[in-house]
Structure 1
Amino acid sequence: MLQQSLVFSFFLIFTGAAVLASVALYTRQPLLVAYIVLGAVLGPYGYSLIQDTALLSDISHVGIIFLLFLLGLDMQPSHLVHMLKKATLVAIFSAIIFMAIGYIVGISFGYTRTEAIIIGVALMFSSTIIGIKLLPTTVLHHKHTGELVVGLLLLQDVIAILVLLFLNSGDNGADQITTFLKTVVALPLIIGGSLIFVRYILLPLIQKFDRFHEYIFLVAIGWCLGLAELAHVVGLSAEIGAFIAGVSLATSPIAQYIATSLKPLRDFFLILFFFSIGASFNLALLGQIIVPAIILAVLVLVLKPIVFRFLLQSISESNSLAWEVGFRLGQISEFSLLIAYMATGAAMIGEEASHVIQATAILTFLLSTYVVIFNYPNPIAVSDKLRRD
């Protein structure tokens, strides 16, 4: 019965996702919004065709592990150092500004101080998926605009990793100090151990058997999940372990091949993750959260371009480039959804505050995509003049 239920659930999810994804592409919407909407429609608060979302949520958690593993693989130390010199202050000041905005709005609507802080943290980041997907390939790889967008997103990813690390140690009372100290000791040990293991064991094995692509695929998955489980055992999160696993391989020649090989697997699990986000969205709370969500979405859409424009001009970027980067980063992030998910699981925020973050993310995903596709070069523009692959 469990197997039939899981197969039927997968049928509904992936067939429905294919249909809604087609509609989303025709209407120039982000695909992840289609997955979230599908979850809300089919889940327990919609038509209840899929009621047991706990199992799907557990399975989809693997997608987040792979996502952070791939982020680690892309985090080349040389690129990171270059962008640290260029855009660190922009990333830090923009994060502080939007955390303050989220905090003020959260407090204004009666959320607790912790909930308001988490709402503010969720506003700090821009969407890597939307930011990268809406950049033409030539801009992404060969132009300064692409370098700035990718660099800022990379720096935001680093901040997000630190936030996730903090959320993972978010216990109360004396346990918090113990957990934090355990984390402080465990983190450098895992980082150092992973670098040694990769250099002296993993890379020699890959180099010896690099003709067998299946072997490389298996080793990459084993390394990712193995370090994720090790991190979980010593009190860190599986996500942090996966990220360390990726970074430890980032400088090796095989890193990009592994990243390309694992992307379809990551996408499979991420569809389940975004579906489970939608399925857990309690539509009965919509009346309570729609006003703060709309206010936050409007503030993000209006103020992010202005803030990035001001900060980028302060480091001598041109006015037009500063505006373009600001509009391309004018939404909150899929990391915001992950932060809401983890903060709820750690009992740091309530269901209502979590739903505010989710609704704000969906609104900014939709509206910022429209702003970009109608005004800047991108692969899915309606206008032939702006369409660039």
Structure 2
Amino acid sequence: MFKPKKYIIEVETPHHGGMKEKEIKKHGLKPSEVIDFSASLNPYGPPKVLMEEIWKTKKEDIQYYPESDSLQLKKKISTKNNLKPENVIVTAGMSELIDLVAQTYVKEGTSVVIPEHTYGEYEPSSKLNGAEIKKVEMPEYKIEVEKIKEKIDKNSIIYLCNPNNPTGDLLTLQEIKQIMDKTNKTNSLLIIDEAYHDFLENPPNHKELIDRNNDIIIMRTYTKAYNIPGIRVGYGLSNKKHINYLMKTKIPWNIGNIPQRVIKTLNSQKASKFMKKTRKKLIKNKKHLKKQIESMGLETTNSQANFITINIGNASKQRKKLLKHGLIVRDCSSFGMPQHIRIAVRKKTENQKLIEALKKTT
């Protein structure tokens, strides 16, 4: 039998949160009866402005090939971020962008530096292209700048999720600059994953690091902030040089006409108002939820994102117990944290159901 390259056989498929229909049915439940705390999405989305645009879909949106480089959407994104269209690449979710980075830059033996407890897609995409993975220890589940710098060799690629998933800790702009001092000296490439950027009140402005001399790519997605995982659109910000390299790797027509059109509405003033309003609600809900969890004697990580990660003792068992109550949480075993569960901050009434279930099951 004709076999794939050896990396395909060796790589493990990463685990993700979200509802598993087979598992839900096993407990005699329907998806509509379950509250999903495992996917860290904005429970107040999708915004009305996006839904209205979806209903404007015409036959022509389906009949014709889309812009291969998503130019009109690029213009909207670049304007919102005070950059030029040449500084933007639009991808089918952040997952495609992670894959593009690996295809474009990872060679046999490339050193890829990844924190030991972080998002699971960086490692397999790098391994598939022959990378040598270097895991960075996270004492007390925190990313430490010096430990990152120690692992950076010449021509390395460094992945940082900021705020980090699943711990939620956040590196400041000054800390990112310290890491960039090392990447610049070693001719290395820094990748910053900002999937949860929109949930921060005062996010570090990494855009100022994008110039012609800095080797940095910032990855973002609309999925989390606007609760639209069914519309696969993400984007990358970088200098013209790196965007051109990534565009050569990207497949043509990766984003259809309909997603390109409706996502443009999320770069509008109406969408900004939606995000500001819901961010305020989620910060308030999180503060209340965290206080209740810790009053039960449970430890949490210092999460700055829209989720809370809890030391529950045995994550797998606790997840099964909560599922019987119609609640899905994220077992963090796949992150190397088998004692922890991650819960998304949801609406106040939903959060209260989780608290009541935790009191019964812990």
Task: Give the TM-score, by structure 1 length.
Answer: 0.26
- Structure ranking higher in strand proportion: 2
Flag the structure with more relative contact order, 1 or 2, with Cα contacts below 8 A and sequence separation at least 6: 1
- Structure ranking higher in helix proportion: 1
